[in-house]
Structures are given as C-alpha cells and as structure tokens.
Chain A
C-alpha cells in the first residue's frame, strides 16, 4: 500500500508560495473533530510583505490592455474547470454535501467567466463624454483604485473568495485577501489555479489566519487604497470603518449571499474604481460647430 501524501498548505504572496514568516500554524478540523490540515497562521508581517508585492504589481496589471486582462481571467476559469474534482473534494472535506460542493464549484467557474467578459466593457459603459460650455473635449473614465485588502467571507470556502477577488482585479486593482479561517483549503488551491493562469505574481495575494488578529492592519495600512470586509462581525466592521479614515481609504462591506447571481454585477467592479475626468482643449470642428 502506498502512503498518502498530504498537502502542505502555504501562503500565496507575490506569485510564490512561502510559509508564514512567523512560523505559526493552526490545526484545521473537520466536523468529526479530526485534524485535516495544518494551516499557516499569518502574521501582520506576512500582510505587510503581501502589500509590498501587491503594490509592485499594480503598475503592470493596470497597464495591461483590458482585453488581455479578460483573457487571463477567462484562463482562470479554464484552470478551475480542470481542477474541479480537487475543489469538490476539499469542499466535502470541509463539511459540504457532494451536491452543494459541485454546485459551488460550478458557480465559481461561471463567476470567473462572467467577470472576464467585463474587463473591456465596464469602462465604455461607465465612462462618459460630458457636455461642457467651453471648447474642450471632456470625458470621464473609471480607473483602478490601487491595492485592495479583503477579508473574505468566513462561511464560503471557494465561491465567497472568487466572488470578491474577480470584481477587484477586473478593474486593474491588485489585492491581499484573508481567506476564511474555518474553511481555508480552497483558497490556497485557488492560488495554485491563479499561479498557472498567466496572472502576474502579486496581483492576488492570499493569506490564511485569524481575522481578529489581522483586521486592524488590513484597515490601517497606509499603502492600501481600499478595504473590503465580507464578514458579519460588527465590531470588526466598525474598527475597519474607523481605521480606514487614516489615509481616506475606501471601505466597503460586502456581506452577501454569494450563491445568488444578483451579487455578480458590474457595480462591485465600480466600487473599486475612481473616476478621472479629463479636459482636452479642442478647436471648433464640423459644420454644426460641435465642440468635440
């Protein structure tokens, strides 16, 4: 008989899979109280390192052609499809029924496809050409906010994670995500999907660990431009709202039931965009005297 080879779940920072710098871990149990994995218990320094990686990746990722970002997001869906069975197994290991596990993975794949389509469409749709009284061509376009920190849904191992990462990176942002503490397995396997999807390292960074310990840093780090909180702890939410004010960070509270398709929409993309308006001087052109 062959020995079963157990997987070491590590972190995903800057395109690499390091262990936590703190050397700490926590035991993950299934509902029969059996240990199923040792997970990295990330420290604030891991978070700091992840933010450095995310910051570094902003320029390259946001500078890519929108269509190319769409291709990469679609590639994530392809890779996810290929690894379907592994995700289903992990979901079952973490307490889901087979039917629910299959449904969750299906939905996660669909969500990737859904958002990949938005990459080159949200700007034309939400941008505008503005009528002005002077001889200027005046237009507004959404642009990425920058580095986004995320405390992902605690109750959803895969779908909750994918549903927040996708709208963030569609728009050229990069992110640092704290995965569910009690259902973390899919997050690191999803990181393996990302690592093989042509997504540049640092665009998505995934940590596992304890929200109580880390949430204040997610909100107070001056080099993070927005924070998204997807959990139900009111005290943590309050602290995040308060600490975000330090550098006028945008804070969003996405406590949603991600199984509902109404929560896949371009308005989540737009939450993490900033509108830039440009005044471009022009001559009067055209017989009608149009100012553009």
Chain B
C-alpha cells in the first residue's frame, strides 16, 4: 500500500503549542489594516436558520455588496451562504456583483438522509444558480469506520455539483479527535473536495485553531504530493477581527502566500464582518466606533 494513503497521527500537544505561538504574532497598523480588508473579502456571509425568509436573504445580499458605504475602499465579501431554497432569491439580489452564492446541501446540517435525497438537494442548489455547494459528511458512518461510504458519497456529490465548487464540511465538533479530523480531511480531499470546511456552525465547538491547523496541514501534504491546491474554510465561532487575523497568520505560515485570497480561503461567519467594520470605522473616524452606525444584517 502506498504510504501516503495512510493519514498520519496528530500530536495534539504539539498542535496546541504551535497555535499558541501563532497567537503571539503582533500585527499592527498598516499590516493590520491590510489583514482586515483581506479578511472581509474572504467572508462567506451566512444565514442558515430555520426562520430565514426571502426578506432576510435579500437584506444580507445587500449587505454583502455594501458593507459600509461611508467607509471608502471596502471590498465586498466573497460569497453569501444560504439554504438551497433561498438560492434563487440570492441570485437575483446579487446580480451584477462579484459576490458568489454558496448553498448548503445534502440534508444540512445533520446529513442524515438517503443518498438519493442528498443528490437531489445538490441538484436543486446548482440548478437554482449556486456557485458553490457546502455539503456535510455522514459523521455517523465515519465514526463507525465506514470510510468507503463517506468517500463514495463525497465523490458522488462532487459529480452532481458539475461546475460548482464543492466544500466538504467535516463537522469537526463531532469527530472527537484531531486524528479523526486529519483522516476525514484526507478522505474529503482524495474524494474530490475543492474546499474542506470545519463546521456547520450548529455544533459546539465549531471552528477552532487547532482543528484548522490540522486541516491546513492535510492540504499542504496533498499539495506537496500532487501540486493540486485545496481551499480551506473555518466556519462558526470566528467573530472578532483579532481572531480572523490569527487565522490569517496561521494560513500564511502553513500554506503561504498562494492561499491568501478568497479563491482558496474563506471565513464562514455572520458577525465577523461587523466586528471588522468597527475596527475600520475607528481607523476612519479616529475614535472607538459603535455598532449603532453599522447595519446589523
């Protein structure tokens, strides 16, 4: 058997130590500004609630294009992330902009449904105009050791995606160990994921730095071996600009400059954008800024 097919085991203490060191980097002034603008541009602005309405989706799409009109030189976010039934609404609302539409699919967030329904779910999202599909893996099957099942499922869904890019959500909060995270990352990557993503945002803990580091390392190992780039999307729990900068530091020091674009890295977040805008508002007006001057949704 080819050695590279066996996922390496993870030194948890080592990972945590390394993460602690990333968090001591001091990013200030000009580079902090650059970092925050980049982070804004990497956000998948997300609404994934049972109570989502067309109105809320439209409002979010507007926000995606107009983060804060009083601050000049702001980018748009990378994409909006919605349920499949809201893709059409988003598509219409985002017309003429560069903001992509990501749709969760495959019986999100639990992933507990038949293959047939999952594929149908993906098809609906893609036909409605989703540029990216965020699928969830079957964690139950993974934990039961049915790795082939998980692999085949991802491969089948990749095929159903057609031209849409596929993000595979591992839901690391349910995988218990970093070894499992690495294993699931490798399965997803080899099965055809364009992106691997930490979490649905519905389970605690969502994205953490150690988990993200393990996934970045899986991407790096795959890249070293095959020359193919895979994207990374930590999602859930990243709500402050300080955290976002720490993730960017980790990204830079693990995968390097090639990944420092929204083509290859995304933040799945709903409140991160506003926290960054607070910082940029302070920069513009010279005083500590308030959420009262930024739209909530």
Q: Which residues of A contact B292 (CB under 8 A)?
A: 222-223, 247
- Which residues does chain A contribute within 8 Å of B223, judged by CB atoms? none
Interface residues of B, CB < 8 Å — how many? 9
- The distance in angstroms between the C-alpha atoms of A217 and B293, with both chains bound, is 18
Main SS at interface, chain A: helix
Nearest residue in A to B293 (C-beta to C-beta)? A222
**Bound: A53/B122 CA distance, A:** 42
How many Å from the CB of B53 to the closest CB on chain A?
Answer: 24
Q: Per-position contact with A for B179-212: 1 when CB-CB < 8 Å, else 0?
A: 0000000000000000000000000000000000
Question: Does chain A have a CB within 8 A of B140?
Answer: no
For B291, give the chain A residue with the smallest CB separation: A223
Which residues of chain A (42-83) have a CB below 8 Å from chain B?
48, 51, 55
Stretch at the interface among B55-63, B123-131, B162-170, B282-290: B282-290
Closest chain A residue, CB of each to CB of B240: A52
Residues of B within 8 A of A246 (CB): 287
Determine if A220 and B288 form an interchain contact, defined as CB atoms under 8 angstroms apart: yes
Chain B residues near A221 (CB, 8 Å)? 287-288, 290
Residues of A within 8 A of B290 (CB): 221-223, 247
Cα separation A223 to B289 with both chains bound (whole Å): 6
- Chain A 243-258 interface residues, beta-carbon cutoff 8 Å to B: 243, 246-247
Which residues of B in the span 53-90 have a Cβ within 8 Å of any Cβ on A? none
Q: Which of B281, B290, B291 is most buried by chain A, counting CB atoms within 10 A of its CB?
A: B290
Q: Hey, what's the 0/1 contact readout for A230-263 against B, CB within 8 Å counting as 1?
A: 0000000000000100110000000000000000
Contacts of B289 in A (CB 8 A): 222-223
Q: B293 — which chain A residues lie within 8 A by C-beta?
A: 222
Q: Is the CB–CB distance between B288 and A51 below 8 Å?
A: yes
Of A55, A223, A243, most buried by chain B (CB within 10 Å of CB) is A223
Residues on B with C-beta less than 8 A from A51 are 288
State the CA gap A51–B287 with chains docked (Å): 13
Interface centre among B281, B288, B290, B292 (most CB of A within 10 A): B288
A247→B286 CA distance, assembly (Å): 13
B residues less than 8 Å from A48 (CB atoms): 288
A243 to B286, CA, bound (A): 12
Q: With A and B bound together, what is the CA distance between A247 and B285 in angstroms?
A: 11
Minimum distance in angstroms from A266 CB to a CB of chain B: 28
| Chain B neighbourhood of A243, CB < 8 A | 287
Within 8 A of A (CB), among B261-297: 281, 285, 287-293
**B residues less than 8 Å from A220 (CB atoms):** 287-288
Among residues of A, the one whose C-beta sits closest to the C-beta of B278 is A223
- Rounded to whole angstroms, the CA-CA distance of A48 and B281 in the bound complex is 14
**Given the complex of chains A and B, what is the CA–CA distance between A217 and B287 in angstroms?**
8
Report the separation of the CA atoms of residues A55 and B293 in the bound assembly, to the nearest whole angstrom: 14
A284 vs B52: C-alpha distance in the bound complex, in angstroms? 41
With both beta carbons as reference points, the residue of chain B lying nearest to A247 in the complex is identified as B290
Rounded to whole angstroms, the CA-CA distance of A223 and B292 in the bound complex is 7
For A214-226 the 0/1 string (1 means CB < 8 A from B) is 0001001111000
- Distance to closest chain A CB from B237 (angstroms): 17
Apart from A55-B291, A222-B293: 16 A-B pairs, beta carbons within 8 A: A51-B288, A217-B287, A217-B288, A220-B287, A220-B288, A221-B287, A221-B288, A222-B281, A222-B287, A222-B289, A222-B290, A223-B289, A223-B290, A223-B291, A223-B292, A243-B287
Please, could you name 11 A-B residue pairs with CB atoms under 8 Å apart, sorted by A? A48-B288, A51-B288, A217-B288, A221-B288, A222-B281, A222-B285, A222-B287, A222-B288, A222-B289, A223-B289, A243-B287
